[in-house]
């Protein structure tokens, strides 16, 4: 969990009441915050509190696409992410680089936010599950859905295989030839 992603960033409270979240979402929250809430779920602790949080967040998440400037704000956020990975290693980025994991997730999540307002079948957390729901609902073609799922699975496999040799998180394709060869064999 990245504490900098909480409301008001690193300056925000570590703990909030649900009412405080609702007030924040109503007045201050940015589009990307609702996109991030698509994945929100109780993982530990008081499951009833987690359920109440999810119920409080849902109306804000599923109405986010109606906010003024929604599309422009989403584009600005994606551009910001792309600019954060420019440089010598940008072509090695599995996660944040152009055509990477985040591009697939970003596309799927935006389609969920736009169409999930009126189609409850799109209100799912998993990326591949959401792609399937988008295809079944006719929001994307079946061939496009299959390709998105295949690409997403491949990129996840590359990411995981790149992490295994050093047993640490990385989102870069190795640069050294021996490591690159090992990654290719692992795939």
Segments making up each domain of the chain, as ranges: 3-61, 70-186
Domain at 70-186: CATH code: 1.20.120.330
User: d(Cα 40, Cα 136) in Å, to the nearest integer?
Assistant: 23
Q: Report whether pLDDT(175) > 90.
A: no
Global pTM reads 0.87
Confidence class of residue 147 from pLDDT cuts 50, 70 and 90? Answer: very high
Mean model confidence pLDDT for the chain: 91
Q: Report whether pLDDT(21) > 80.
A: yes
Whole-number pLDDT of residue 124: 96
pLDDT in tens, 94-112: 998 888 999 999 999 999 9
Question: Between the CA of residue 110 and those of 33, 88, 117, 181, what are the distances in Å?
Answer: 12, 29, 11, 36
Q: Report whether pLDDT(4) > 70.
A: no
């Amino acid at each position: 969990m990245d504490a900098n992603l909480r409301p008001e960033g690193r300056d925000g409270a570590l703990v909030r009441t649900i009412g405080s979240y609702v007030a924040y979402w109503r007045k201050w929250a940015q589009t990307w915050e609702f996109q991030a809430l698509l994945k929100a779920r109780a993982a530990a602790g008081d499951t009833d509190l987690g359920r109440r949080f999810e119920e409080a967040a849902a109306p804000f998440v599923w109405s986010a696409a109606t906010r003024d400037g929604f599309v422009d704000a989403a584009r600005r956020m994606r551009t910001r992410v792309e600019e954060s990975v420019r440089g010598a290693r940008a072509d090695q980025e599995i996660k944040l680089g152009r055509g990477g994991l985040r591009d697939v997730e970003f596309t799927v999540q935006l389609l969920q936010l736009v169409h999930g307002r009126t189609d409850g079948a799109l209100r799912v957390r998993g990326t591949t599950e959401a792609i399937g729901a988008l295809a079944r609902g006719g929001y994307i073609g079946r061939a496009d859905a299959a390709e998105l799922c295949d690409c997403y699975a491949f990129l996840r496999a590359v990411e995981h295989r790149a992490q295994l040799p050093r047993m640490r998180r990385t989102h870069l394709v190795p640069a050294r030839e021996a490591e690159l060869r090992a990654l290719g064999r692992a795939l």
